Structure formats: structure tokens, C-alpha cells
Amino acid sequence: MIAPSILSADFARLADEINAVGGEPGKRADWLHVDVMDAHFVPNLTLGLPVVESILKTTEIPIDCHLMIENPDRWAIGYAEAGAHNVTVHAEAAADPIAIAKDLRAAGAKAGLSIKPGTDLDDYLEVLKHYDTLLVMSVEPGFGGQKFMSEVLPKARKARELVDTGHLKLLVEIDGGINADTIEQAAESGVDCFVAGSAVYNAEDPAKAVQALRDQAAPAFNAAHG
């Protein structure tokens, strides 16, 4: 699955930018990744719930909200109630991540847990039994266009093993620095869902960029895990 991040889109033309990766299921982006940053958990500020509500009205692509905010225990539920498909909170910011996951699921959303590059996956294995998605950050959260950190791939690989052996039941997503040069190593590590911001929205044709990333990832994933 490819999830373009609108972080690198032109916010003044947001509907057009979203439609540029739209279309029929199977051809369009699988998810649309929306980065919510609060200038506290990360040093950058983007957008919040009112903008997400407008995005939900403008597209049928399932919305993948990545909440880089403090106190997700208070704020995450609003994104689920608004109709986001997947709502991801940061493990480092959550006071009670199991309660958050239960609330998100009760509101009809998939629950996602994200870990920063320096955060140990092993500390969250019990918590992840309550989650539908693990988002492995492959850059320090806060900005698009950063360099991919391949040293996080062992975490994706371990999560994949735990899924394949039935210990966890979740989707493994990766976010940060994914492009034509890095997607294959992530796919070989067992990642199911690839967030790509600058690689999609800085491309001349975002739809073609999505398809090219998918065409690259699928054989690499299947060779290692198919």
C-alpha cells in the first residue's frame, strides 16, 4: 500500500493535490496520509481537526491521520469520530495507549501506534496487541524531505516476524524518506504500507509516482515474504 503524505502538497490547492492521487480503488493511493503537528510534540505546526474534516468531505481515499501531538489521550478520538480510517498516535506521547486504541476502535477507526527512530519496539509489544497498525518512523518526526534512516528497518523486520508467527495482528507502516532509492529495502523488511510525501508531491505526476513506488515495492516484498 502507498500512502502519499500531503505534507509536501500545495496547501492552497489541497483538493486538487488530493485528487491528483485519486481515482478508482486499486489505481489510486491506498491511503492518504495526513500529518497533524502541534509545535509541541514536534517543532513544526501543520493542521488540525477542522482541516481533516474538510479533507474527509473531498475524497473517498481512506484517511490515515498521523498525530504528532502531545496528549493524544485527549485529542485522537475526534479524528476517529470525524471518520478517519486509521488514527495513529505516538507511543512517546500517549499516557494510556491501550485506552486510546480501545476508544479509537469503538469509534470505528483503525488504531495506529507510531514509534520514533530511537524508541524500542520491545517496550510496546503488549500494547501493540490492541493496535491495527504499527507506524515505524524512518526520520525524526516533524518535517518532510528528510533522509531515510535504514537503521530502523530491524524494527519493521521484527514486527513482520511477529505478525507472520501470529503474535501480532497488524499492518506494518513506514514513514519518512521513502522514495525510489529506499522503498525496496523497506519492502524487503516486510513493510506493508509506505508513506511518501516529497517522493509523490515533488514529482511532476503524483499519480505516476504512486504507481511507480507500488511497482517497485511489490516484487521486493514478495521476494522476501511472499
Ligand X SMILES: O=C(CO)[C@H](O)[C@H](O)COP(=O)(O)O
String of DSSP letters for 133-176: EEEEESS-TT-SSPPP-GGGHHHHHHHHHHHHTTS---EEEEES
72 binds ligand X (CB under 6 A): no
Binding mask 128-147 for ligand X (x = CB under 6 A): -----------x-xxxxxx-
Q: Which residue is nearest to Fe ion (CB)?
A: 66
75: CB partners within 8 A, 6+ apart: 49, 67, 69
Binding mask 62-81 for Fe ion (x = CB under 5 A): ----x---------------
Establish whether 142 is an annotated binding residue: yes
Cell numbers describing residue 186:
523497506
Exactly one of 30, 38, 175, 192 is catalytic; name it: 175
Tell me if residue 38 is catalytic: no
| Contact of 2 with 196, CB cutoff 8 Å | yes
Binding residue for ligand X, selected from 2, 5, 100, 155, defined by CB under 6 A:
5
Stretch that binds ligand X, among 48-56, 92-100, 175-183, 185-193 (CB under 6 A): 175-183
Q: Where are the beta strands (DSSP E) in the chain?
A: 2-4, 32-37, 63-68, 86-90, 110-115, 133-137, 171-175, 193-196
| Contact of 193 with 213, CB cutoff 8 Å | no
Exactly one of 35, 103, 132, 192 is catalytic; name it: 35
Residues that bind Fe ion in the complex, under the rule CB under 5 A: 35, 66, 175
Active site residues: 35, 175
Residues that bind ligand X in the complex, under the rule CB under 6 A: 5, 7-8, 33, 35, 66, 68, 139, 141-146, 175-178, 195-199
